[in-house]
Chain A
């Protein structure tokens, strides 16, 4: 019983500390150079490997090389919405400011990845399907995801009072989550032109290892890009909200001039 109490207190202290904007600001600053460097390295390997080292596909020829942009961006468009959903729930239940900031800062990156996924998909669709666009279940649900991201950002900017804006956009994000399983399972639920999972089948690989490694590198690079950008955006948002607080002022005082 006593051990449980100690554990609970420890966890509470840890979560409380993690939720502190000052700690988040400092941690984001510490992690940023590592994430950025790793992202650049993985992206260079992914692009070189994908464009020049991987052999052409038997059926698709060189056109398959769009997989190195399309699949990671499509994956990230879903993953980031998941991050927004989780943070929105956390904000609605526990009113943790950092969760709201994370959700807010993720939205534009998620929308960017969705645009890239749609654009690269159209470019891939033309040589393979003979059309840029079709109102297929996967494509349409991904387009709805873009509208959800835009709606989320629009709603946030439309409401002046920050707390109301945060609450309204969090509710929208929770409702919009219904689109994510639809996107993922659309290729199984409906007869679509879009192919099934490529990456999610590690037990029975549907892609050669020479093609797979650059794809995994690009996926890692895109995730790191998101995390690195999130670090910068979170720092900007925290600095905006907390610039009048003592710890920010003390940071400027300690540095004399320049950034906090």
Chain B
């Protein structure tokens, strides 16, 4: 088996999957936090 198939591709795929997961996680956190902050704003305005 070539070095590409055995080591290089798994290395690059693993690294970019982890970095991608960090981006997705940050995006989800951003969405949730914005939603909560917006709800607070709307609740305050309703009062």
Taking beta carbons and an 8 Å cutoff, which residues of A are in contact with B? 47, 51, 61-63, 65-66, 69-70, 73, 108-109, 112, 115-116, 119-120, 123-124, 126-127, 225, 229, 232-233, 235-236, 239-240, 243-244, 248-249, 252-253, 257-260
B19 touches which of A225, A235, A236, A244 (Cβ 8 Å): A225
Q: CB-CB < 8 A to A236: which residues of B?
A: 26, 29-30, 33
In chain B, positions 1-24 with a C-beta closer than 8 Å to chain A are 2-4, 6-8, 10-12, 14-15, 18-19, 22-23
Nearest chain B CB to A245 CB, angstrom units: 10
Given contacts A69-B11, A115-B18, contact A63 B3 (CB under 8 A): yes
A69 touches B34 (CB 8 A): no
Given contacts A240-B33, A260-B37, contact A124 B11 (CB under 8 A): yes
B14 touches which of A63, A65, A116 (Cβ 8 Å): A116
Instruction: Give Cα distance in the complex from A253 to B41, angstroms.
Output: 8
Q: How many residues of B contact A (CB 8 A)?
A: 27
Extra contacts, 4 of them, besides A127-B3, A233-B26, A239-B37 (Cβ < 8 A), are A63-B7, A243-B37, A248-B37, A249-B44
B34 touches A62 (CB 8 A): no
Instruction: Give Cα distance in the complex from A109 to B23, angstroms.
Output: 10
Enumerate 19 A-B pairs (CB-CB under 8 Å) in ascending A order: A47-B12, A62-B8, A66-B11, A108-B22, A112-B19, A116-B15, A119-B11, A123-B7, A123-B11, A126-B7, A127-B7, A229-B26, A232-B26, A233-B26, A236-B29, A239-B33, A239-B34, A243-B33, A249-B44
Given contacts A63-B8, A248-B37, A259-B34, contact A120 B26 (CB under 8 A): no
Q: CB-CB < 8 A to B30: which residues of A?
A: 232, 235-236
Majority DSSP secondary structure for residues of A touching B: helix
Nearest B residue (CB) for A121: B11
B34 touches A73 (CB 8 A): no
B41 touches which of A108, A233, A252 (Cβ 8 Å): A252
B4 touches A252 (CB 8 A): no
- Top-8 shortest CB links A-B: A243-B37, A252-B41, A62-B3, A232-B26, A63-B3, A123-B7, A123-B11, A69-B15
B38 touches which of A229, A240, A257 (Cβ 8 Å): A257
Nearest chain B CB to A48 CB, angstrom units: 12
B8 touches which of A66, A258, A260 (Cβ 8 Å): A66
Nearest B residue (CB) for A240: B33
Instruction: Give Cα distance in the complex from A30 to B18, angstroms.
Output: 26
A116 touches B7 (CB 8 A): no
Instruction: Give Cα distance in the complex from A112 to B37, angstroms.
Output: 28
Nearest chain A CB to B13 CB, angstrom units: 10
Q: CB-CB < 8 A to B12: which residues of A?
A: 47, 51, 69
Instruction: Give Cα distance in the complex from A47 to B15, angstroms.
Output: 12
Instruction: Give Cα distance in the complex from A180 to B43, angstroms.
Output: 48
Question: Which of B11, B14, B33 has the most chain A CB atoms closer than 10 A to its own CB?
Answer: B11
